[in-house]
Copies of this chain bind each other. A is one copy, B any other.
């Protein structure tokens, strides 16, 4: 072979893309996860929303965003919010996968009540190795959703992004299957467990009092009356065939260009 011209810009070590996972710090993983979730909901992650989600001062978010942008995990237009890059999204989904598998394992295998698994997974998600996570997933038969019904991203970053209807929006007399609720409010979760309103369960909206009044439900065989705030947080799907637990294999995709999403104020 003959000599080749060498691009001088290539003589420096050139920041080779690491083939191994770069091992992010705990705060970094938390920021990326929070930003992913905000971006999913609002199209963009606002500084104050991130601050609220992580319970830190807005100024701290600005500082972290600077670091994350320098490392290529986010793009940032000052005063305009943050968007994850591909690398950022990948990292966020990895953390979310760990979190949800941990939640599932803690609830299913170790018998944790479903209102406690979030807090526990929140800490373990930063410490568990990939091997541990995959062993847990295998022990569970590779679940596709966590105890609260949230979809578990695959190892290669695919997530079920289907949106669900809110229980609050059912028509009177309409029947549906409860599919999901946020894992972040233990009191709410305890109450839902009490009235047996959990993923996979059949619900019928029996009545809705006017002026945002209480909503009467049939849950399984029992009746419950709940407030509109609760009903807005519970997601449901039109009642499908039979099998109640894990979602069957269904269309799945990664959120690509999110541009042109609804902005929010």
Chain B residues within an 8 Å CB radius of A109:
109
Q: Is B135's CB under 8 angstroms from A110's CB? A: yes
Q: Chain copies in the assembly?
A: 2
**Bound Cα distance A136, B129 (Å):** 18
Is A191 close to B, CB under 8 A?
no
* Complex alpha-carbon distance, A194 and B109, angstroms: 31
Q: Total interface residues on A, using CB and 8 Å?
A: 19
Report A120-173 residues with CB < 8 Å from chain B CB: 120, 123-124, 126-129, 131-132, 135-136, 139
Bitwise interface map of A from 103 to 115 toward B, beta carbon under 8 Å scored 1, else 0: 0001001111000
Q: Is the CB of B123 within 8 A of A110?
A: no
Complex partner residue of A129 from B120, B128, B139, CB under 8 angstroms: B120
Complexed CA–CA distance, A110 and B137 (Å): 11
A123, B129: Cβ atoms under 8 Å?
A: yes
A110 engages B136 (CB within 8 Å): yes
When A110-B136, A110-B139, A135-B112 are in contact, do A127 and B124 touch as well, CB less than 8 Å?
Answer: yes
- Whole-angstrom distance between the Cβ of A127 and the nearest chain B Cβ: 4
Query: Across the two chains, which residue of chain B brings its CB closest to A135?
Result: B110
Complex interface residues of chain A between 78 and 111 (CB less than 8 A to chain B): 106, 109-111
Residues of B within 8 A of A136 (CB): 110
Task: Give the nearest-CB partner of A136 in chain B.
Answer: B110
Residues of B within 8 A of A127 (CB): 123-124, 126-127
Can you identify 16 A-B contacts, CB atoms within 8 angstroms? A106-B132, A109-B109, A110-B132, A110-B135, A111-B135, A112-B131, A112-B132, A112-B135, A120-B128, A120-B132, A123-B127, A123-B128, A124-B124, A124-B128, A124-B132, A126-B127
Given contacts A112-B131, A124-B127, A127-B127, 5 further A-B contacts (CB under 8 A): A110-B132, A110-B136, A116-B131, A120-B132, A123-B128
